[in-house]
Each structure stands twice: as structure tokens, then as C-alpha cells.
Chain A
């Protein structure tokens, strides 16, 4: 299937342009099984160039499998997967990869290791040496660069791992659990480096369990549950606060609004629905107490999804995502052509 048709199939509303074709990552209907166990089940995902995309999910959700498919280590059973418009594994120079719990060839020093990695990429000698010095500076490993890696701490090893991923100045970085196994100080150091990379305009796909890490670094986040994208949203659109929505059986009079605002001015009401945007146990108790004293019957009380944590916990329990965080659906080429015909 030609790229432009394929792209059109992904999103019928999007105009077909050159930039749309060149998504950094473009996945459609991806299926992958290990033995007989399905790991990815019809995954659809697009990451445009320049975006920092965070992939969250519980253990076994398929995050590392997805990264391995993007690197071309694994082959898809079904569906399409493209990196910069081409099959995975064909554009290694444009991709930097940091595996989960990276194990190292510890008989080399950090500098020697980076030198060898550069030779696998056929980088000219002088350019390679210059690049290695820059990267060692970036990850703050200049002093330890000539020590054997078996003497490095986990944090130092991970910093060398980041340096090797950046060696060819890749356009896309695939980073799998960068803080895994690190102490809080080590996690902080790695986050600092990743924030720095983000500012340099790299496209990044970051898999992590760390919600804070994702929140700090990423523009957009997808939550993978049982091999499918259960939710996807721009982090900027999340209010950042956890609240509740109370629905009453009766339609209250306007007097109630004054009473509610006297508890907290941020509380609002629309019809039978009362919204408390930033809730604490005390505030919730006060509001409910007021409603009971005024003789109202509470039909439902639901937490609102205001933070990434809320969204994550909501969808991993199997709940449907809120409409604003609904993942893209699998639109086939036939569907999109039919839709175009109907529009016409």
C-alpha cells in the first residue's frame, strides 16, 4: 500500500501532506504474540516528529515488546509498523535506543565502549572522538570515562547508556524504563538528562512506570493495557488536580450555590451536577454534609480525571477512558474510502 494511502487510512480527517506521511512512528493494527499468548492486540499509535511521547502501562502490557518491534528485533504478526515511513531496522542511524536494564560489556571503559559503538556506525574517527567528548560532558561522565565499566554504579552505567543512544545524534530516541533499578538520586539525574534532551528537540518515545518522569518529560502520553492503547492524551490538557463530581436526584435551587461557594469558591454547579475541582477528604465531607443537611439525595459521586495518575488508575482498572483521552480507532482504508464516498 502506498504511504499516502496508508496515512489516509490512519486518519481520514487529516489532510494528506508530506509532513503527515513522515511520522516518526506510525503503527496501525499491530498484533504480536509470544508463543500462543497475545501481547499486542491491534495497536494504533502515531508519534509525529519532535514530540516526546510517554508510554505507560502495567507490567506485561507490551511496552518493551513495542520498543523491540520498533527496533526491528521482533517481527510483527499482523498490522503495519513504520519508523520515518519505513520498515523498522532499516534506519538505525536515525534512531537511538536505550534498553530496559541495559547490561554492558563491562570489560571496556566508558570511552572505549562508546568508541566501539561509533565504529559500528562507521563514524569518521575525528568526528567520533569529538562526539564522544561532547556526550561524556552531557551525561557528566568525563572523569570516569577511562575507568572500566565494571567499576561503575548503576546510575553511571545508565548515563553511559544514554550517551551510546545519542552517539549518532539520532532524530528519534526509544527509551525503555530509563530509571529502572536506580535510587532516587540516580532517577533524578537521568530525568535531568532527559529534560535536557527534550529541549534539544529530539523525538522521544519513553516507556516508564514512573508517572512523575512521564509528567515532567513528555508532551503526550499513551496508556497501554493488555496490548491495546487504552487512553491517549496531551499532558497539557489534563487539569492537574483531582476532583469529584456529585450528581443529585433533585434539581437544587440557586441558594445551594451560595452555600457551596462558602465552603470553597471553586465549587461549581450545572443543573443537578456539582463539581469540586480540587478535592480533599475534609472538603468532600463538608460538601456531603451540607447536601444531606439540606435534604438532597446524592445519585452518584464520581472522581474526576484531573491528573495523569487519575487517568492511569482509571484505565488500568478496565474503565473506558474519558472522551478527551480516547485513543485513535482502527480505521481501515476501506472504512475511510466509504466515509469519503458518504461525505461526497
Chain B
């Protein structure tokens, strides 16, 4: 319980600093521009649909989450962090408190955009269950993206490991067409090896992409629960690796 209250205090400290330093204004400005371009109703006939709202907003919020997490990680990498790390909060609390802030900001962004769209361009069918059906996988994706950005930051991993994992993510993100060009047929040993590797390393990305799709389509069939569970498990695994690595490395801030 004490640990949780310390982590929450650290998150509040970061959040307050993010707001007081004025960095939050960049996000608010981006949100206003996004809402003006994509969510307003240019004419009376152009009513937005919930699917359109979720597809555009999810992309925006996830992109903004990457930015926010990057900013907060850079703040946490300053020499100011030594005094915090010297407290009983510890290394794990430091990382978990940091993780919570972009999640909070991302969720607040999404809620604000939902309010804005309700006011300026209410979708055709727009109920609380519809909103929740899209919001849940999107919030889990926000958490997953935040955890991934923290894991891939210089705070947690050394440059060598970052490059290695980014390489795997890049390989996992490639389609077969990208991977296997005319000069590299599937019959080729290297081609088959790369295709197999791509299949393997893309497995961890499935919950992220499926979560996005679930947020947009909101089709809660038999596959919805495994997707949500996959998002949760992958987020926990990424956070576990981040903590594991952060616990075992020299901390050099500055």
C-alpha cells in the first residue's frame, strides 16, 4: 500500500510538472487542430460515424501517447531524477510512476476528444455502450504503447538492446511482400528464414494491432476477449521486461 502511494505521488509530481512547465499546451493545441480538421462538421449533411471517430481518434491519441511518453522519459532522464531515485520510491516505483502519467494524459485526451465530438459533431449512433466498446481496447492500446516506448527508451535499455528490439519490431511490421522481393523468393533458404522470423516476431504485435481494430469496429464476438486479454498480458510483459532491465543497469542521468 505504501509503495502504491509513493508511485502515485511520483505520478502526480510528474503530471504537475508537465502541466506547470507548459508542455501540456502543445498537446492541447494539437488536439484543437485535430478536432478542427477531422471532427467538425463542414456541412449539415456530413455527419460523422462512430467508426470514423474511433479510427481517426485512435490514431491521433496513440501518436500523441508516443509523443507524451517520449517527453516524460526525457524529463525522467534529467539529473533531477537522482534525488527522487534516492528515496524509498526506488527504481521500480520510478518507472511505474512514469508509466502512469502518459496513460492518464492519453485517456484524458481521448475523453476530451469524445466530449468535443459530442458537442460539435455528434455521431449518428452515439451511446455510452458504443463509446465504452471503443474506449476499452483503445485505453489498453494506450497502456501498451506507453509501456513499449518506455521499454525502448535510453532510460531502460542500452543502445544495443534498443536497436535489436527495434529491428525485431521493424521485421514484425513488414508484410511478406515487403520482405520477400523479386530477388528473394520464398524457396530461397534466407527468404524462408526471414518469413519464419517475421511470423514469430510479429506475434507480440498482434494484440496492439487487433486492439486498434477492435476499438474501430467494436465487434465484440468470440475473439474480443482474447484480444483484450492479449493487450493486458503484453502490457504486463513489456512492463516486466522494462523493470527487469532498469533494475539491472547503471543509472546515468544528466
A92 touches B86 (CB 8 A): yes
Complex Cα spacing A95 to B85, Å: 12
Complex Cα spacing A122 to B91, Å: 16
Out of B9, B21, B85, which one reaches A73, CB within 8 Å? Answer: B85
Cβ of A120: which chain B residues have Cβ within 8 Å of it?
6, 9-10, 13, 84, 87-89, 93
Complex Cα spacing A121 to B88, Å: 6
A102 touches B88 (CB 8 A): no
Cβ of B91: which chain A residues have Cβ within 8 Å of it?
89
Cβ of A92: which chain B residues have Cβ within 8 Å of it?
86-88, 90
Cβ of B83: which chain A residues have Cβ within 8 Å of it?
97, 99, 102, 117, 161, 164
Cβ of B82: which chain A residues have Cβ within 8 Å of it?
71, 73, 97, 99
Min C-beta distance of B210 to chain A, whole Å: 38
Cβ of A117: which chain B residues have Cβ within 8 Å of it?
83-84, 87
Min C-beta distance of A203 to chain B, whole Å: 16
A103 touches B6 (CB 8 A): no
Min C-beta distance of A42 to chain B, whole Å: 19
B250 touches A119 (CB 8 A): no
Complex Cα spacing A102 to B21, Å: 19
Size of interface on B: residues with Cβ below 8 Å to A? 30
A74 on the B face (CB < 8 A): yes
Complex Cα spacing A328 to B39, Å: 73
B80 touches A105 (CB 8 A): yes
Q: Given A93-B88, A117-B87, A119-B6, do A104 and B17 touch, yes or no (CB 8 Å)? A: no
Complex Cα spacing A53 to B128, Å: 65
A296 on the B face (CB < 8 A): no
A258 on the B face (CB < 8 A): no
Complex Cα spacing A311 to B196, Å: 67
B9 touches A116 (CB 8 A): yes
Complex Cα spacing A207 to B17, Å: 31
Cβ of A108: which chain B residues have Cβ within 8 Å of it?
16-17, 20
B88 touches A119 (CB 8 A): no
B49 on the A face (CB < 8 A): no
Min C-beta distance of B25 to chain A, whole Å: 14
Q: Given A73-B251, A107-B20, do A121 and B87 touch, yes or no (CB 8 Å)? A: yes
B90 touches A119 (CB 8 A): no
Q: Given A73-B250, A107-B20, A122-B5, do A95 and B86 touch, yes or no (CB 8 Å)? A: yes
A107 touches B21 (CB 8 A): yes
B90 touches A105 (CB 8 A): no
Q: Select the residue from A68, A105, A107 with max chain B CB neighbours within 10 A.
A: A105
Complex Cα spacing A139 to B251, Å: 30
Interface residues of A (CB under 8 A from B): 68, 71, 73-75, 89, 92-93, 95, 97, 99, 101-105, 107-108, 116-117, 119-122, 161, 164
Known: A102-B79, A116-B12, A122-B6. 5 other contacts (CB 8 A): A92-B90, A93-B88, A97-B82, A99-B79, A120-B87
Interface residues of B (CB under 8 A from A): 2, 5-6, 9-10, 12-13, 16-17, 20-21, 78-80, 82-91, 93, 248-252
